[in-house]
Every structure is written in C-alpha cells, then in structure tokens.
Amino acid sequence: VIGHPKYQESKRVAIFLSMPDEIQTEEIIKDIFKQGKECFIPRYKPHSNHMDMLKLSSAEDISSLALTSWNILQPSDDDSAREEALGGGGLDLIFMPGLGFDKKGNRLGRGKGYYDTYLERCMKHPSGKPYTIALAFREQICESVPVAENDVQVDEILYEDC
C-alpha cells in the first residue's frame, strides 16, 4: 500500500478504521501523517445510508473518538469542528473495506450502501470521483459477488499475492 503510485501521489486520503476481521489500517494511517497527507475517516449515520469523511488531526486523534454500537470508532455526531472532505477539496483516494470482492471490481459491503452513496456524492464534487482501492485478504476474493444497480465498482483490489 505504502509504495502504491496512487497512494504516493495522493494528498487527501480517506481510510476506514479497521474492525478485528478486516485488514488492519493503523500503520497506513500513521504513514499518511508521516508523509504529510491529510487523513479522513468515515462517520456513519445510523438508520440511514449516509456517511461523511471527517478529517483526523493526527494518528493519536483516533484515541479521542467515540465507539459506536457497531464497535467502530468514529467522530461523535456533535463533533462539528472537523472538516468534511466534500466540504473542502474533495478526496484523491479512498481505501475501502468489504466482506467479499471479485476480480471485476465488484465489492460486497455490509449491506447499507454507505460507500456507494458517498461515491455518488463524490462524483458531484468539483474534484470528481477519487481513486478507490479495496483492502482485502486473499480469502475474500470470489468468482463473483452479488451486485445491485447502485453499487459502484472499486478501481483496484489489493490483497496478498495480487
């Protein structure tokens, strides 16, 4: 990931805070700050498919975040001081989680459509759609995953030995 050309050229990067069953992103987040890039993380709105990408001030900033009912760290609902990526310069790159992927770039998420809806919003932003890279374990690569018409394909899937 760190040596990937799209990562190297990106200034504004969104990345998920990993759950125990996902690729661990802590070292990538540290590197984002080490390289002087801007880091954005998801804030999911419960009972909807709305998600924002909010700016972290440092890797240590993660320890100040609230734990949701889904056991995910994210900025609290009343945290209005953080920049939302689409309220500013948009994003260059989004690292995406998922449960399964196929080699055509289809992604099976957790069923709420948060990333698909967010990418639709990105496409309306002046900076356009960011490059998307899914982070996966080799075991998550399938022959095909079910897709709906509003699902947005990822540009690239990174996994061991890919």
- Which residues are part of a known binding site for substrate? 17, 22
Do residues 49 and 76 touch, judged by C-beta distance below 8 A? no
Query: Which of 145, 149, 143, 157 is CA-nearest to residue 113?
Result: 149
Binding residues are: 17, 22, 107-115
Alpha-carbon gap, residue 56 to 42, rounded angstroms: 10
Binding residues for ATP are: 107-115
Query: Which of 63, 10, 20, 68 is CA-nearest to residue 42?
Result: 68
Tokens matching residue 12: 């504004």
Alpha-carbon gap, residue 118 to 154, rounded angstroms: 13
Strand partners, 87: none
Running DSSP on this structure, what letter comes out for residue 160?
T
Strand partners, 73: 67
What are the backbone angles phi and psi of residue 51, rounded to the nearest 5°? -140, 140
